[in-house]
Amino acid sequence: MMNCRNCSNMVNGNFCCNCGQPVQIKRVDSHYILHEIQHILHFEKGTLYTVKELLIRPGKNIREFIADNRSRLVKPIIFIIITSLIYTVIVHYFHIEEEFIGYSNSEKTTTSSIFEWVQNHYGYSNIIMGICIAFWLKLFFSKYNYNFFEILILLCFVMGMGMLIFSAFAILEEFTKLSLNKISGIVAVSYCTWAIGQFFNPKDLLSYLKALISYILGILTFSISAMLLGFLIDLFIK
């Protein structure tokens, strides 16, 4: 018998029955580091399985994640951050000039700095963009019993897949030497429209139209808000 090092509960066995802390802590070595990386990326819970299911049955799987079973898919926030990181690494590694969201201005302004931050932090930027898109989805699909945060979870999965689509085309562009940025944009937006429509009502064509309009309005809202914020900051500084 000994006291748990975490909660001071009396322990009789290999694990504390109160908090689950092991009596003997494993030494930090290469196996420990590998396990931690796998845990962060959720490889042991099926990243490839999540991608496959979101490719073929996005609406059904995301509805099940929200309402019934949250153990089958990778956690949505982790998913969008990791997929955005993959895209960022690929773009920088292959020196792809065209960005997911770009802003061209020869002058160094707060607005250009904001869009530069967006281009370097797609994980966080996608979450903010998701908030803008979620606002419009909530407005257009108000008759459905989904709250704002549930819609945001939908967008984390959908936009994460969008990042993987951009990543795949960026790799293809590097090997073919063809400019595929516009094609990748069309494919990614088409997937997002289809996946969102599948989530709300897969049998209603209007559902896909509203999904497309909401997506475009969300991106515009994000871009205009970023430019307006930059303009106001520059105006205040001057």
CB of 198 closer than 8 Å to CB of 58: yes
- For residue 198, the tally of other CB atoms under 10 A from its CB is 21
pLDDT grade, residue 81 (50/70/90)? confident
Portion of the chain with pLDDT greater than 90, in percent? 39
For residues 30 and 77, membership in a common domain is answered with no
72 and 7, same structural domain? no
Which pLDDT tens digit goes with each residue over 162-196? 999 999 998 998 888 888 888 988 999 999 999 99
56 pLDDT tier (thresholds 50, 70, 90): very high
Q: Are 25 and 50 members of one domain? A: no
Pair (134, 36) in one structural domain: no
Which range is least confidently modeled, 23-32, 45-54, 123-132?
23-32
Mean pLDDT of 109-118: 80
CB atoms within 10 A of CB 184: 21
**Helix locations, 141-204, DSSP H:** 148-176, 181-200
Chain-wide mean pLDDT for the chain?
Answer: 84
| Amino acid sitting at position 23 | V
Q: Is the pLDDT of residue 108 over 90?
A: no
pLDDT at 125: 82
Same domain, 175 and 124: yes
Residues 163 and 198 both lie in one domain: yes
Type and span of the H or E element at 2: strand 2-3
Q: Is the pLDDT of residue 72 over 80?
A: yes
Do 137 and 82 lie in a common domain? yes
pLDDT range class, residue 42, cuts 50, 70, 90: low
Banded model confidence at residue 233, pLDDT cuts 50, 70, 90: confident
| pLDDT for residue 25 | 73
Q: Are residues 36 and 54 in the same domain?
A: no
β-sheet bridge partners, residue 15: 22
Using one digit for the tens of pLDDT, what is the confidence trace for 117-164?
777 777 678 888 999 999 999 999 999 999 999 999 999 999 999 999
Same-domain pairing of 18 and 65: no
3-state secondary structure of 161: helix
Question: Is residue 212 within a helix (H) or strand (E), and if so which, with residue range?
Answer: helix 205-237
Closest residue by Cα to residue 224 from 232, 236, 213, 212: 232
**Is the model's pLDDT at 37 over the cut of 60?**
yes
Instruction: Examine the domain organization and report whether 113 and 195 are in the same domain.
Output: yes
Clarify whether residues 65 and 174 are in a common domain. yes
Number of domains comprising the chain: 2
Residue 7 in this model has a pLDDT that exceeds 60: yes
pLDDT at 131: 93
* Same-domain status, 5 and 92: no
Question: What pLDDT is stored for residue 16 in this prediction?
Answer: 83
Residue 11: its H or E element: strand 10-11
Residues 6+ apart with CB under 8 A from 166: 87, 100, 184, 185, 188
Which domain does 11 fall in, by range? Answer: 1-41
- pLDDT-derived band of residue 39, with 50, 70 and 90 as boundaries? low
Q: Name the amino acid, one letter, at 106.
A: S
Between the alpha carbon of residue 107 and those of residues 10, 93, 159, 186, 225, the distances in Å are 66, 27, 31, 30, 19
Q: Which long-range contacts (CB under 8 A, 24 or more apart) does 72-77 make?
A: 72/46, 73/45, 73/46, 73/49, 73/157, 74/42, 74/45, 74/46, 74/47, 74/50, 75/42, 76/153, 76/156, 76/157, 76/160, 77/127, 77/156
Orientation angle between helical segments 205-237 and 110-120, nearest 10 degrees: 130
